[in-house]
Amino acid sequence: MRVVSLDTGEPLRVTGAFPVCGNPMTSSDIDAARLTYTVQYPSVADLTVGETDVTLIEVSVSNDDSEDVHVAELGFSLFSIPWDHVASPTLHVAGDALTISAAEHPTEEVLRLTLSDEHLIERGGTVVFELRGDIVDGACDVLNMDFDPQHSTATGSTYRFHAVWQIGAGSQLPFDRNIAGECS
């Protein structure tokens, strides 16, 4: 059997035809995982060049109750300064550092962190991912960043479809945090 189409409407519907005779197959509904993310910025205080292990952004991710979900990659966009001004990016959950197997820049503004072990979010559960880093440059500039769901990957445990990311109510918009230090 060959799947002809996937309709990502509510709920997900799989349709197609049998390859030999072309007769339509019976359609079936699949409950694909949906993740709701809410961005929070824990501080509006100025940053200082030389400051280490600074919490830059927190992303609360809630599972929609359809199935357990495994988060494999998280993306973050930095709009105002180059990523090389923020060194040693780390991800934390409940204070514990997650092991990152790769840190890639698919675009100049985006940092995608791949987890060594996918992080489980159980049905109905919520996990807060915290991105930390060291401020190594950018004095007299600003830091402005956001979560990037287009460069984030999560899959459901049951059907292994990629989860759908949707922004939650109350998610904060990116804002500028000044970087203090000796201007060059």
* Number of domains the chain contains: 2
> Could you list the residue range(s) of the whole structural domain that residue 21 is in?
1-30
pLDDT tens by residue, the chain, 184 residues:
444 444 455 555 555 555 556 566 565 555 678 899 999 998 888 999 999 999 999 999 999 877 899 999 999 999 988 999 999 999 999 999 999 999 999 999 999 999 999 999 999 999 999 999 999 999 999 999 999 999 999 998 887 888 999 999 999 999 899 999 888 6
Whether residue 81 is found in the same domain as residue 100: yes
Q: State the Cα–Cα distance between residues 12 and 89, nearest whole angstrom.
A: 36
Q: Could you tell me if 77 and 132 lie in one domain?
A: yes
Q: What gap in Å lies between CA 183 and CA 155, rounded to an integer?
A: 45
Assigned domain for 178 exists: no
Considering the domain architecture, whether residues 15 and 73 belong to the same structural domain is answered as no
Residue 164 lies in a domain: yes
What are the residues whose beta carbons fall under 8 Å from the beta carbon of 176, sequence distance 6 or more?
80, 142, 143, 144
In a domain, 101, yes or no: yes
CATH number (domain holding residue 42): 2.60.40
